[in-house]
A and B are shown apart, each in its own frame.
Chain A
Amino acid sequence: MTITLIRTAIMYLFVTIGIRLMGKRQIGDMQPNELVVTLLMSEIATIPLQDINQPIINGIAAIFALVIIEILISVLTMKSIKLRKLMNGKSLVIIKNGAIDEKAMRKVRMTVIDLIEMLRDRDVFDISTVAFAVLEVNGSLSVMLKPEHQPLTPIEAKVKIKKDGMQLPVITDGKIIEESLVALGITREIINKRLKQGNYCISDVFLMTLDRYGNGTTVKKGEKV
C-alpha cells in the first residue's frame, strides 16, 4: 500500500513535468498529435501504478519519450507546412459565402444537426446569418457573420469610448501582487490613493483589480461583489 502511494506520487510528479513541458493547452484545443500523446501518457502512467512488479523507470522513460517526440513534432510542424497538414490535418470551410458545402460536410462526417449545434455553441441561432464557417483542426467551428448581421463596433457607430485597459488583480486577500504592478506599469501610490479614497487599509481588501489607467474594482473582506 505504501509502495503504491509512493509510486503514485512519483508518477504524478513526472506526468505533471511531462504535461508542463508540452505547454499549456486545454483538451479541447489540442491538435490531434497532442491529444494522442496525452492519451498515451495517461495510459502509460497507470501501468506501473496498477502493477508494482513493473519497474517505474520504464513508465517514466516512456512518458519522457512521448514528451520528446511531441516537442520535436511541434518544432518540425512549425517549420514545415506539409508536415503540419500531415500531422494535424487542415481546417475545412463548411459554409462559404452563405452556402453550405455538403461535400465538405460529408468529408468530415458532419450532419446538419451537428453543424446547427456547433453554430448554437457559437451563439449563432440563425444559419442564414452566417457568411463563413470553418471547421478548425482542433474540431472547433469558427464563424463569420454576414456584414449586415455583425455587431456594430464603436468605429462604425462613430462613438468615442472611454479608454480602457485589461484589469489585473493588484491586491488579493490583503496582499499586494508586485508582478501585476510591474505588468500594468503602475506604482503603489495609485493603490494607496484608492485605499485612501475608500478609507481602507490593505489588510481589509479581499480583492482589488486595476487597469493601467488606475480604474478598477475594490472588494472588502466579507463584502458582496
Chain B
Amino acid sequence: MNRLIAAAVLLAFLCGLSIGSYSTIHKTHNELYDNITFCEAAYAENGDFAAASDKVLANWLRREKMLSIFIDRNITDDIGEAISRLQPLAQSGSDEFLAECAEIKIKLNNVKKDSGFNLRSIF
C-alpha cells in the first residue's frame, strides 16, 4: 500500500513536470515565434527591425534558463547563437537577416515538435 502511495505521488510529480515542461516550451515558442514574425514584418516594411531584434534577444535571455531545464543545452545554445546574430545583421542591414529569422523559426518549431505528443518524438 505504501509503495502504491509512493507511486501515486511520483506519478503526480511526473505529470506536473510534464505539464510544466510542455507549457514552458510552448510559451517560449509562441512568444519568440511572434517576436521573430514581427521582426520579419518590420524588415519587410522598412520598420524598426533593429529594435524588434533587440526584443527577441531580451525575451530569449529571459526564457532560456527555464527552457534549458527541460531541453538539451546544445539546442538552446544553438538557438541562442542564432538569435544573437540577429542584432549585428539588423545593424548592418544584411539580407541574411530574413534567412536567419527563418532558421530560428525552424529551430523553434523543432523544439516544439519534439516536446509534443507525436509519433516522431516517440520513435
Q: Across the interface, do A55 and B72 meet the contact criterion of CB distance under 8 Å? A: yes
A54 at the interface (CB under 8 A from B): yes
CB-defined contacts of B77 to chain A, threshold 8 Å: 53
B61 at the interface (CB under 8 A from A): no
CB-defined contacts of B7 to chain A, threshold 8 Å: 21, 67-68, 71-72
A18 to B, closest residue via Cβ: B10
Cβ contacts B17-30/A at 8 Å (1 or 0 each): 11001000000000
Whether A53 contacts B72 in the complex (CB less than 8 A), given A61-B17, A64-B14, A65-B14, comes out as yes
Q: Across the interface, do B10 and A64 meet the contact criterion of CB distance under 8 Å? A: yes
* Residues of chain A at interface, number, CB under 8 A: 17
B residues with a Cβ closer than 8 A to A are 3-4, 6-7, 10-11, 13-14, 17-18, 21, 68-74, 77
Question: Can you report 23 residue pairs joining A to B where beta carbons are below 8 Å apart?
Answer: A21-B3, A21-B10, A23-B3, A53-B74, A53-B77, A54-B73, A55-B70, A55-B71, A55-B73, A57-B17, A57-B21, A57-B69, A58-B70, A61-B17, A61-B18, A64-B10, A64-B13, A68-B7, A71-B4, A71-B6, A71-B7, A72-B7, A74-B3
Given A57-B17, A65-B14, 11 extra CB contacts under 8 A? A21-B3, A21-B7, A55-B70, A57-B69, A57-B70, A58-B70, A61-B17, A68-B10, A71-B3, A71-B6, A72-B7
A residues with a Cβ closer than 8 A to B are 21, 23, 52-55, 57-58, 61, 64-65, 67-68, 71-72, 74-75
